[in-house]
Structure 1
Amino acid sequence: MAVFTAADHPLRARQVCEAMDLAVAPNNINNVRLKLKRLAGRGILTETEPGLFTQPRP
């Protein structure tokens, strides 16, 4: 969540991996994407466009 707090624009799963110092490998990107989709489904994040995630603004 700190990655999204520091970002001023929506992020893709690849960018989240890079910000978290994870290896940019297809397996890691897919795992992060699934977690981001789950957080968006719960209302913690918002998917502004397919594949772009951000924190909901009040």
Structure 2
Amino acid sequence: MTSTGQPTRARDLCLALDLPQERKNIENTRAKLQRLVTLGMLVETEPGLFTQPRP
């Protein structure tokens, strides 16, 4: 998710997107990330840590 290839949390992504650090924003972002996991576009390496799949 980040340019370094390190797994990212929903909270960190909200911070990078300049969204207010409110619970609803973090939960909505987490839900969207989970949706991308089910579509195979992301991988959840640990609970709450998301990254792009390796080729």
**What interval of TM-score do these two structures reach, taking the shorter chain for normalisation?**
over 0.9
Give the Cα–Cα distance (whole angstroms) in 1 for the partners of residues 16 and 2 of structure 2. Answer: 12
Residue-pair matches, total? 55
By relative contact order (CA 8 Å, sep 6+), the higher-ranking structure is 2
Structure 1's consecutive aligned runs of 4 or more residues displaced over 3 angstroms after TM superposition are none
SS of 1:9 mapped into structure 2: coil
- With over 3 angstroms needed to count, the CA separation of the structure-2 counterparts of 1:12 and 1:26, relative to structure 1, is same
If the length of structure 1 is used for normalisation, what is the TM-score?
Answer: 0.88
Residues 28-55 of structure 1 show CA distances to partners (whole Å, capped at 9, x for unaligned) of 0000000000000100000000100000
Residue 6 of structure 1: CA displacement? 1.7
| Structure 1 match to 2:30 | 33
Structure 1: gaps of 5 or more residues: none
Higher helix share: 1
Aligned residues: percent identity?
Answer: 56
Give the Cα–Cα distance (whole angstroms) in 2 for the partners of residues 7 and 31 of structure 1. Answer: 24
If the length of structure 2 is used for normalisation, what is the TM-score?
Answer: 0.93
CA root-mean-square deviation = 1.0
Structure 2: gaps of 5 or more residues: none
